[in-house]
Structure 1
Amino acid sequence: MTDTVRLKEEIKRSGLKKGWIAAELGLSSYGFHRKMNNESQFKAGEIKSLCQLLKITSLKKKEEIFFTDDVDNKTT
């Protein structure tokens, strides 16, 4: 499950636009939105590309954002 709050923080920090990121991942804006909000899951290749775009190199940070089981639904 994706930690939506942390992912949005990373996107904001990067200065990149969500629509541009979606296009780079080969997703529609709607598809990217669904994945960010845990309505569908990111594929491994999408996670890898997204981390490259956002310059996330720490394995710990990747795991905290994309592989967390304890995300509070109230924060997403």
Structure 2
Amino acid sequence: MTNTALLREKIDESGYKIRFVAKKIGITYQGFLKKINNESEFKASEIQGLKELLNLTDEERDKIFFTLCVD
């Protein structure tokens, strides 16, 4: 389950708009929103693209995408 709050925080910190981020990782805006809202899951290639685009550390990536429980 994606930690939506932390992912949105990192996107806000980057200064990028959600539409731009979606386009850069190769998915539609609507598809990206579904993934952020945990209606579908991110692919490994999308996670890697977000890690690079948002300059996430491995720890940040793991907290966003690989935490089992999200508060």
Please indicate the TM-score interval, normalised by the length of the shorter structure. over 0.9
Q: Does 1:54 align with 2:54?
A: yes
Q: What is the alpha-carbon root mean square deviation over aligned residues?
A: 0.8
Deviations 1:6-46 (A, max 9, x none): 00000000000100111111111100000011100000000
Q: Any runs of at least 4 consecutive aligned residues in structure 1 with deviations exceeding 3 A, and if so which?
A: none
Which amino acid is the alignment partner of residue 29 of structure 1?
A: Y
2-side partners of 1:14 and 1:54: how far apart?
Answer: 6
Unmatched tracts of structure 2, length 5 or more = none
Secondary structure of 1:2's partner?
coil
Shift in Å, 1:68 = 1.1
Give the equivalent residue in structure 1 for 2:7.
7
Give the equivalent residue in structure 2 for 1:27.
27
Give the equivalent residue in structure 1 for 2:67.
68
Name the TM-score, length of structure 1 as normaliser.
0.89
Give the paired residue count: 71
